[in-house]
Chains A and B, each alone.
Chain A
Amino acid sequence: MEVTFEGEEQDPDVRFVRGTGKYVDDIKLEGMLHLHVVRSPYARARVLSVSGGITGNELKATMESVGEDAGGKSAVSFPALSASYVNYVGQPVAAVLGLDRYDAADKAEEVDVQYEPLRPVIDPEKALASEPIHPGMENNLVAAAELGKEFEVKAPIEIEETLRMTRISPNPMETKGMVAVYDGSNLTVYASTQSPFSWREGLASSLGLKEESVRVVQMDTGGGFGSKGGIYPEYVVAAYAAMKTKRPVKWSETRYENILSTNMGRGVRGKMKVYADREGKLKGLKADILVDVGAYPLGGGGWTARWIASQLVGPYSVPRAYATAKAVLTNKVNMGPYRGAGRPEAAFFMERMMDRLADETGVDAAEVRLRNATSRRTTSPLGMEAPPSKQLFMKALRAFKYSSRKKKENVGLSFFMLIPAAYGGESAKLAVKGGRVKVWMGGSSHGQRHDVFAKSLVSEELGIPQDVIDFQHTDTRSISGGVGSWGSRTAILGGGAIVEASRSLKAAAKKKLGKKYSPARLLEGEYEAEAFFKPKDLLNTLGANMASARLTKEGNAVVDEVVSFYDAGKVLNPFMLESQITGGVAQGIGEIMYEQAIYSEDGQLLTASIADTGVIHATEMPKSVVMTAASRSTLPHGAKGVGESPTIGVPPAATRALEVLLGRRFTTLPIEPEKLWATDVAGVKEVRVR
């Protein structure tokens, strides 16, 4: 019993407009059962008893590996199904199987769970003083780091601010899901994923299987934004159910379940203090970062606080900096990567301070940034390397027509560094047979159309037409290793791997054919090449945004236009790049205006429908203008990362534009529409902003 992609339309756009994409929930296999998960209605409770269906008394698996966080093992064990304590609303406690989703939901009635509710810890700022949520822990602190050196400095300008980015739901349009098939010795999983290899590793370790006996195939995947990189308890339970029943098992969650049980992004507080001279030149930076990691520190909880702190200085140069970073447990679903994953937090905190600095010194916001940018490669006192930044920002200002627009409009700027997730490298494989070339990547598209640059790179390298190249779904059986698609990494690393694999394939053909070698001859033979590409150089890149804001005739402040100017290296496909960036602009605007997860005091999620979570509609989207600086990277194809740039750069620029328009200081995201209503359309300036 197998899902195949035989005869599939190669162009995903054509496939998708016809409705013939193959997503997990479209799979229908003979004898397939549907899994329904029974979840905790409490944010914190002791499970007194649980009976009916598959429970944690039967399946004693814990979550071992979660993709992007691989290696970040925690002392706290996260059970696939909890039989002792539950720690967030929506945590799985049991699962039942039915012939279809209705039947499975009916069967859930047969599950009986007795809980003793406990007082939950919800506010991360109170979590350190609260009793530990997990038995056996001393407190709720799960990670603490100190970066740079404590310092004292005399400065005429000292500004302190507490900034917050509220938790948000990633909300890919396709919810999470999978189909598991077990043949008695091998487990095959059809997945909606950003990383089949993380799934393979995670499922094998949670279920005590050998990785060789687990195959993960990526289906068409309806978005991820970080949330589909790692594995979740439900995946382990569904795979177990298939192994137990020897029947295919589908798990496909509802949106309500997706919002309850998917790792959320952000949820970070930054206490910032900058020291500067009267000309706006930074003399020092201090910061204290607090991350709300939720109930189990597995989605990134182990590293996020330090990661944010490490990049606070961004593209600037500062003589001294000191940061402390903590991550705390609360009774909420885990925190995890969401487009940008720590980068937007760092940029928002720093860029808000640059705007404050402009206001306090009376120096223009662009000039303040320029005065702190550098013309050389630097390593910040917090340990992060940055490329020379001054030139790029000057180019951006010219491209924005900043000086003239600033006179007429309410504009905000941002300047930031994008650190792509280059660690671990990435793989690609090529196989020539029967006149056609098949291409696989270790981590592939969940909406980015990696096939477009993959085909064009292979075609360029081998001198063959694109229409003989077939881009394949990532399948752990077809390629020997891989990492995954996240952190602005696939065009740079996967692209690099494609170039390397193409070159070694070409070399093999040349060796075999000698002087007779030609691209046409290459296609007549049979060749295979796989490459695992690991870059050695600094791939950190820079970007800037300008946003403008205006009042509608009803008196609402809105972001009117967002201009992006990013150093994307050699642009592999301008059309796709623009499309990616504009999508990220929408997420950035959603994040500053509306998007947030709101919890009640007892830990119930109040924003539990996609409408409540605040994602924006076509009517709320500002104009997006995309520009790039063409500076090749040192990689064979010259590319740099770009996918996360807009969620890093747009929030601070757009927040500033609204601040300038309304004359109100904004320190917490989302700003919320009710705070964006002009009480006086003429504009009462409550704070002095320039």
Chain B
Amino acid sequence: MPQTSHIAVEVNGVKREADVEPRLLLVHFLRENLGLTGSHIGCDTTSCGACTVLLDDKAMKSCTVLAVQADGRKVMTVEGLGGHGKLDPVQEGFVAEHGLQCGFCTPGMVISAYALLQENPDPTEDDIRTAISGNICRCTGYEKIIESVKHAAKARRRRRT
């Protein structure tokens, strides 16, 4: 049997413990061990961003983080957004503006957009382009994704006031 390490990670607000191999990637831990299949794997070189999650509130590509590195830390995946059957404003923005087609890059895009708006509630179009430039979408040509983020930014500001 391969050697394992005990980890405890807070995922979407719930403490999850497991014995994992040191080589296990965080994205595989989320998908295989926890069944949180919303985070996708689109590449193996940290290039595409489909696996983006929040690690201690920072957007991070979970394919390049070991599960053991997440020990004692906080992870939020796309499944952690919204709640009580409701969509988060960022998710609502992507639905309203159809900021997706095949949906595969979407969870990563949504998380990157969410992270941007946490830091910068009123981003310019250039800010948005830069914020999602680590996420590849092959279907949309990005325009509707950018509209989705703008939509979300507006909705969030409205909710605050």
Contact = CB atoms under 8 A, between A and B. Distances in A.
Given A102-B21, A171-B138, A17 B102 contact: no
B6 interface: no
Interface residues of B, number: 57
Question: Chain B binding site: helix, strand, loop or mixed by DSSP?
Answer: loop
B150 interface: no
B144 interface: yes
B134 to A, nearest CB: 8
A173 B44 contact: no
Contacts of B44: 254-256, 609
Contact of A173 (B23, B48, B95): B48
B98 A621 contact: no
Interface stretch (A205-213, A429-437, A444-452, A633-641): A444-452
A175 interface: yes
Nearest to A580: B101
A220 B38 CA distance: 13
Contacts of B133: 617-619
Contacts, number: 175
B98 A16 contact: no
Contact of A13 (B42, B43, B50, B95): B95
Nearest to A16: B103
B146 A448 contact: no
A255 B103 contact: no
Contact of B98 (A28, A222, A579, A611): A579
Nearest to A13: B95
Interface residues of A, number: 55
B104 A617 contact: no
A22 to B, nearest CB: 8
Given A18-B82, A102-B23, A173 B42 contact: yes
A19 B136 contact: no
B87 interface: yes
A609 B91 contact: no
Interface string A547-562: 0000000000000000
Interface string B136-147: 111111111110
Given A18-B87, A225-B138, A13 B98 contact: yes
B47 interface: yes
A222 B38 CA distance: 13
Interface string B43-78: 111011010000000000000000000000000011
Given A173-B136, A584-B141, A624-B143, A19 B47 contact: no
A618 B139 contact: no
Contact of A615 (B21, B37, B79, B138): B138
Given A173-B105, A618-B132, A583 B94 contact: no
A255 B130 contact: no
A257 to B, nearest CB: 9
A25 interface: yes
Interface string A611-637: 100010111010110000000000000
A575 interface: yes
A467 B145 CA distance: 26
A575 B98 contact: yes
A21 B141 contact: no
A12 B98 CA distance: 10
B146 to A, nearest CB: 7
Given A17-B95, A102-B21, A255 B48 contact: yes
Contact of A587 (B41, B48, B128, B138): B138
B24 interface: yes
A610 B101 CA distance: 19
Interface string A253-267: 011100000000000
A582 B101 contact: no
A624 B98 contact: no
Nearest to A175: B42
Interface of B: 21, 23-24, 28, 31-32, 35-45, 47-48, 50, 77-79, 81-82, 87, 91, 94-95, 98, 100-107, 110, 128-130, 132-146
21 contacts: A11-B95, A16-B106, A17-B87, A19-B107, A23-B104, A25-B40, A102-B21, A173-B102, A173-B139, A174-B42, A222-B102, A222-B103, A575-B98, A579-B144, A585-B141, A586-B142, A610-B43, A615-B138, A617-B132, A618-B142, A619-B130
Given A25-B40, A617-B136, A624-B141, 16 more contacts: A16-B100, A17-B94, A17-B95, A18-B91, A28-B35, A102-B24, A175-B42, A220-B103, A222-B42, A256-B45, A583-B101, A609-B45, A610-B42, A610-B47, A610-B48, A617-B132
